Amino acid sequence: MDVGILALQGAVEPHARSLTRLGARPVEVRTPADLDGVGALVLPGGESTTISMLLERQGLFDPLVERLEAGMPALGTCAGMILLAAEVLDGRADQRCAGAIDLVVRRNAFGRQVDSFETDLDIGAFTESGLDPTPFHAVFIRAPVVDSTGPAVEVLASVDGAPVLCRQGCVIVSSFHPELGDDLRIHQLLINEVT
Ligand code: GLN
């Protein structure tokens, strides 16, 4: 299975390692033609303002929105969560969101308290998916905070009442970085949407 990783900017390689370990073939996506060839897409962490600008420059933003509207499974982590959301607060004026999940997110909002932190998350969806139900060790780096969620959004994990892992249909977003470390369970949730 070919799983794309948006490779315009940000942490591409660790996602490629996780996908390979799950038996998928990671494909770097930089152009509309690259996007045509993949069955699912990971939008990695990085800088959402830069990735948004590069998506426009590559003529990739509108094709991405079309694929998402047509039901392509996607996993967005950190900056990727911002790009998949419906609306971003504290973004740059020209920054775009794909609107694939009905969330309003605020950039760098955890970062006001502390730039980075780690915590263990209880994720009930692991049990439903037949995965190991033990807590997931999550790393947050200048992470976005979910300000509000629409009715179609499932909140799969929270920190201090703030959603940090959400799903709407086959679109999954995390404000943390599941590609850091050896735990493949969040990527497995994406793969489960494809197979
Ligand atoms: N603060 C970044 C942004 O707004 C996200 C940080 C990250 O992806 N680690 O895009």
DSSP 3-state of 8: coil
Helix count (H) and strand count (E) of the chain? 7, 12
Full residue range of the structural domain in which residue 78 is found: 2-194
Q: Give the pLDDT confidence score for residue 112 in this predicted structure.
A: 54
Provide the whole-model pTM.
0.96
Give the CATH number for residue 107: 3.40.50.880
pLDDT in tens, 47-76: 999 999 999 999 999 999 999 999 999 999
The number of folded domains in the chain is 1
Across the range 139-144, mean pLDDT stands at 94
Q: Which atom of ligand 1 is nearest to the CA of 45?
A: 8
pLDDT in tens, 80-91: 999 999 999 999
Q: Is the pLDDT at 113 greater than 70, yes or no?
A: no
The rounded Å distance from CA 108 to ligand 1 centre is: 7
- Atom 8 in ligand 1: residue holding the nearest Cα: 45
Q: Is the pLDDT at 115 greater than 80, yes or no?
A: no
Q: Is 44 in the pocket of ligand 1 (CB under 6 A)?
A: no
- What lies within 8 Å, CB to CB, of 123 at 6+ separation is 133, 135, 136, 156, 157, 165, 185
CA distances from 87 to 93, 102, 105, 132, 146 (A): 12, 8, 6, 33, 10
Q: Is 172 in the pocket of ligand 1 (CB under 6 A)?
A: no
